[in-house]
Homo-oligomer: A and B are copies of this chain.
Amino acid sequence: MTETSTKRAVFYISDRTGITAEVLGHGLLTQFDGQNFEHTMLPFVDTPEKAEQALTRINLAAENSPNRPLVFSTMVNVEERNIVSKCNGLFIDLFETFQAKLEQELHTPAATVIGRAHGVPTNNSYKTRIDAINFALKNDDGANTASYIDADIILLGVSRSGKTPTCLYLALQYGIMAANYPLTSDDFDGTQLPKAVKPFHNKLFGLTIEGERLHYIRQERLADSKYASLKQCQTEIRAAENIFRAENIPFLDTSNISIEEITTSILHQTGLHRRLR
């Protein structure tokens, strides 16, 4: 931003990754529609020199816009925090605001060294996470039905109903071993479950999607193919849902929700717990 901008600058500043500041700041700002923001991450501000640099950068943005910047901070180090909090912006301190309340409740002083929200992984949690990622990669799209015995959950659904991203998200964020199995024309003769997944009924969860939405997604992939035609999409979806209902498999419509919402809904409905903390 070297010239005057009508966008309002938003900074997410932290002595660590800044992910927490970004998630909460962004969550707050989604409540304010129609505003134009320019987002900047300022991570790893963990020395007084870096804090001074960040301060300069924020103040420059303040000079170049009629609207002062918003600064969401999860700085823990007091010295660096004191430097940045003097900026010519609205400084919103996400940690300090709640710290006193929590100290009083927990009868413990908060650590004044930088937080470990995404800190040094223990060997154990590292292994859980990597094992889950490798499991999702190996068990994508019905590739490896032999290891379903080790799965926490097996997602079922037609091609492009959201199975792969959901499995990866379950693995990366929660350390959950998630496989997925595609339902194809071969499976739609009756309302029977495919042989490969039948023995794992209690691990099954279905994903479904609206016909129009699936048509749109498949068009992006293979335009004007039979695979992408609205009729084919509707037929497959109806057949898949018939199986879910006949076999009493819980299922979810992914049409209008994000990967985060699909994943959270699945955990909520199945009672599966995160393996990472």
Contact = CB atoms under 8 A, between A and B. Distances in A.
A108 interface: yes
- The count of identical subunits is 2
A218 to B, nearest CB: 12
Given A19-B264, A97-B97, A31 B76 contact: yes
B111 A260 contact: no
A57 interface: no
Interface in A205-229: 216-217, 220
Interface residues of A, number: 73
A18 to B, nearest CB: 7
A22 to B, nearest CB: 9
A103 to B, nearest CB: 8
A169 interface: yes
B74 A27 contact: yes
Interface string A146-184: 000000000000000000110011001000000000000
A28 B172 contact: no
A250 B97 CA distance: 37
A119 interface: yes
A123 B166 CA distance: 17
A100 B97 CA distance: 14
A81 interface: no
Interface in A229-277: 256-261, 264-265, 267-268, 277
A131 to B, nearest CB: 9
6 nearest CB pairs, A to B:
A118-B260, A27-B117, A17-B264, A20-B27, A31-B110, A23-B23
